[in-house]
């Protein structure tokens, strides 16, 4: 059993918890005024909350989370969003911030350096080796327990600390997240393969007047991560290299996919959420896959979780290529059992959606 807390920012008169075919009126509150529901995680995988008019949150897949749920409006959004937030001290940890210089691999940057944020969970004791998960877009990955980001992000943070706390409770896994900041003018270049080397861009890439996909420095960023960042993390923290993962969403989703398959054996799993595969013609990926010898390297290939929604125009532009990718991989010898897919026709292109799918990723991976 796990306590689930509903904040009721939407000021519903009556709040019901929907689990399976059952419906429960919530009346009990905690000291902060949040409604409490005792969730039977052994019987149900997901939960909704609903008001007396039938308006309800999206499905939330929680595992054994003891967390809070908030349902609220956001400026510029057509519909409400369901947030998760930490509700207990077990979800705390610290974020260490660094700036690493690499004149060779970051020569395309004026400052020759990258901002790095490392989430160190409360389980870290400096003695027990922790797994490493590299993640793009560090600027909105972490949020203090019970809070959303304070940098203007309309969706709140990913709050990876919430998910990692649950992963530790369920599986005994200790994970340090190393976030690479991508909130600057180099974002599109650094999270994108160079078309001159990788292959033909799709019409979608040229249909976005505010974006420039004519060049890419993803290989440079990947080299920085492996040659400069990873040695720094190994020296600074007590880590294990047995289960290194990489993840990201949108541009970060295609970047994680590419880095995960560029060299076999380094990354053991890839989280590719709402990936921007559609910026390239699928033939570019096919030509790349031809030289990868997947069948001969089966033991070294990472597990991949591909997720995409269909709840807004951007997700609908990306979902077709996302659904096509597994079949393309398998055609060139990638083991089908190593590629896991999830699609949700209701979910839009934002951190809230990606945060909700994280528990499912780790259930598959672990």
Residue 79 lies in a domain: no
pLDDT value of residue 354: 86
User: Does residue 169 share a domain with residue 41?
Assistant: no
The domain tally of the chain equals 2
> Within this chain, do residues 186 and 120 fall inside the same structural domain, yes or no?
yes
DSSP H stretches of helix in 291-347 = 313-331
Residue 358, CA atoms < 13 Å, CB-side half-sphere: 26
Last residue of a domain, one of 44, 72, 100: 72
Same domain, 124 and 50: no
291 in a structural domain = yes
| Residue 97 resides in a domain | yes
User: Per the domain annotation, does 81 fall within a domain?
Assistant: no
Same domain assignment for residues 52 and 127: no
Same domain, yes or no: 14 and 129: no
Q: Which of 11, 38, 72 is the last residue of a domain?
A: 72
Q: Does 142 share its domain with 192?
A: yes
Q: Would the CA dihedral through 355, 156, 15, 73 be positive or negative?
A: negative
Whether 67 maps to a domain, the answer reads yes
Same domain, 57 and 129: no
Task: Answer yes or no: is 83 within a domain.
Answer: no
Both 12 and 101 in one domain: the answer is: no
What's the pTM?
Answer: 0.81
Q: What is the pLDDT of residues 304-352, one digit of tens each?
A: 999 999 988 899 999 999 999 999 999 999 999 999 999 988 788 888 7
List the CATH number of the domain containing 326. 3.40.50.1820
- The vertex-331 CA angle with 281 and 247, nearest 5°, equals 65
Q: Indicate which CATH number applies to the domain containing 64.
A: 2.60.40
Answer yes or no: do 208 and 343 share one domain.
Answer: yes
pLDDT value of position 261:
98
80 located within any domain: no
CA distance 191 to 274: 14
Are residues 121 and 24 part of one domain?
no
* Weakly modelled stretches of the chain, pLDDT under 70: 1, 41, 45, 61-66, 72-81, 83-92, 143-157, 166, 170, 209
Q: Is residue 306 assigned to a domain?
A: yes
- Domain encompassing residue 303: 90-365
| Per-residue pLDDT at 52 | 93
- On whether both 216 and 160 belong to a single domain, the answer is yes
Give me the DSSP letters along 121-153.
Answer: ETT--SSS-BEEEEEE-GGGT---TT---SSS-
Distance between CA atoms of 341 and 198, rounded to whole angstroms?
Answer: 24
Q: Is there a single domain that holds both residue 113 and residue 66?
A: no
Sheet holding 81-86, edge to edge: 35-39, 2-6, 67-72, 81-86
């Amino acid at each position: 059993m796990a306590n689930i807390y509903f904040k009721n920012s939407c000021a519903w008169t009556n709040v019901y918890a929907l689990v399976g075919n059952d419906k429960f009126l919530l009346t009990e509150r905690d000291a902060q005024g949040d409604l409490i529901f005792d969730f039977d995680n052994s019987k149900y995988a997901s939960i909704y909350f609903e008001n007396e008019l039938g308006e309800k949150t999206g499905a939330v897949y929680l595992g054994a989370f003891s967390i809070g749920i908030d349902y609220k409006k956001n400026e510029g959004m057509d519909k409400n969003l369901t947030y998760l937030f930490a509700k207990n001290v077990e979800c705390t940890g610290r974020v260490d911030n660094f700036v690493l210089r690499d004149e060779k691999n970051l020569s395309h940057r004026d400052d020759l350096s990258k901002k790095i944020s490392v989430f160190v969970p409360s389980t870290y004791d400096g003695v027990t080796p922790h797994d490493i998960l590299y993640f793009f877009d560090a600027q909105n990955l972490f949020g203090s327990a019970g809070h959303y980001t304070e940098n203007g992000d309309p969706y709140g943070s990913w709050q990876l600390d919430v998910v990692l706390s649950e992963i530790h409770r369920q599986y005994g896994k200790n994970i340090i997240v190393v976030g690479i900041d991508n909130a600057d003018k180099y974002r599109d270049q650094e999270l994108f393969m160079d078309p001159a080397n990788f292959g033909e861009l799709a019409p979608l890439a040229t249909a976005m007047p505010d974006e420039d996909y004519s060049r890419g420095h993803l290989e440079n960023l990947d080299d920085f991560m492996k040659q400069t960042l990873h040695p720094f993390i190994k020296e600074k923290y007590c880590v294990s290299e047995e289960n290194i993962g990489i993840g990201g969403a949108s541009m970060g989703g295609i970047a994680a996919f590419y880095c995960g398959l560029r060299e076999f054996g380094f990354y053991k799993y890839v989280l590719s959420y709402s990936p921007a595969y559609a910026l390239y013609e699928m033939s570019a990926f096919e030509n790349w896959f031809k030289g990868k010898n997947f069948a001969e390297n089966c033991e070294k290939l990472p597990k991949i979780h591909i997720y995409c929604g269909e709840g807004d125009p951007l997700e609908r532009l990306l979902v077709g290529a996302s659904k096509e990718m597994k079949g393309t991989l398998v055609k060139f010898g990638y083991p089908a059992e190593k590629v896991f897919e999830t699609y949700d026709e209701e979910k839009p292109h934002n951190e809230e959606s990606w945060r909700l799918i994280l528990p499912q990723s780790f259930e598959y991976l672990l």
